[in-house]
Chains A and B, each alone.
Chain A
């Protein structure tokens, strides 16, 4: 079946604008994760959704970042009032549940000018 998909693949935005990044997980996967990958910094956990439970937002760096997952499937990560330090690749992953391996999408490269 299809893997995890993300859109857009690239996004260039001006400082101060809001952006929305989309993730379509693998069908049937109940767990969905967002990570941020900055140059030389590895992967930084942002937020985690598991089924209908309240999301784990412990990794969100500021209140400008938010995410939702509608109908237990598609997820949107929103960054408000973007800053240059938000420039990074944003990766989405899904898994059957929290203890199984995660499958990653190709990422969205965000550039804030």
Chain B
């Protein structure tokens, strides 16, 4: 069965600094991987997805993630944090014919 581990329940960065949110997955088959963002009192919004095409995936709002099979990782990055990036971020994995399995989330705070 697939699973997701997000390292760090809370990450704090300064405005303009690099954002790095970590996600490691476990899957018995080549996975589909997703990053979602949740702003306060809202539903989840898709940031980006990996579905076995290019290993470096670009998403909305300047975010990108790289699929590394050898490390079973799919870390989310953004070169320069903005105040509006403060939110909860969820990594999720699917084996293609199963519902998404989500990590517990990482809350990102951006300090002015």
Q: Show the binding face of A for B, using Cβ within 8 Å.
A: 4, 33, 35, 40-43, 45, 48, 56, 59, 91, 93, 98-99, 101-107
Q: Contact between A43 and B46 (Cβ–Cβ < 8 Å)?
A: no
Q: Which A residues are in CB contact (< 8 Å) with B99?
A: 33, 45, 48, 56, 59, 98
Q: Which 3 A-B pairs have the closest CB atoms?
A: A104-B43, A42-B104, A43-B102
Q: Contact between A4 and B43 (Cβ–Cβ < 8 Å)?
A: yes
| 14 CB-based A-B contacts, threshold 8 Å | A40-B104, A42-B103, A43-B44, A45-B99, A45-B100, A45-B101, A48-B99, A93-B44, A98-B97, A99-B96, A102-B44, A104-B45, A105-B43, A107-B42
Q: Contact between A106 and B42 (Cβ–Cβ < 8 Å)?
A: yes
Q: Out of A45, A48, A59, A104, which one reaches B44, CB within 8 Å?
A: A104
Q: Contact between B104 and A101 (Cβ–Cβ < 8 Å)?
A: no
- Interface residue count for B (Cβ, 8 Å)? 24
Q: Which A residues are in CB contact (< 8 Å) with B43?
A: 4, 91, 93, 104-107
B76-112: which residues lie under 8 A (CB-CB) from chain A? Answer: 90, 94, 96-105
Q: Contact between B104 and A99 (Cβ–Cβ < 8 Å)?
A: no
Q: How far is the CA of A34 from the CA of B37 in the complex (A)?
A: 18
Query: Measured between C-beta atoms, what is the minimum distance from B68 to chain A in Å?
Result: 21
Q: Which B residues are in CB contact (< 8 Å) with A99?
A: 32, 51, 94, 96-97
Q: Contact between B34 and A101 (Cβ–Cβ < 8 Å)?
A: yes
Q: How far is the CA of A105 from the CA of B100 in the complex (A)?
A: 16
Give 9 new A-B contacts, CB below 8 A, not counting A91-B43, A99-B96: A33-B99, A35-B102, A41-B104, A42-B103, A59-B99, A98-B96, A99-B97, A102-B46, A104-B45
Q: Contact between B34 and A42 (Cβ–Cβ < 8 Å)?
A: no
Residue with the greatest number of chain B CB neighbours at <10 A, chosen from A33, A91, A104, A106: A104
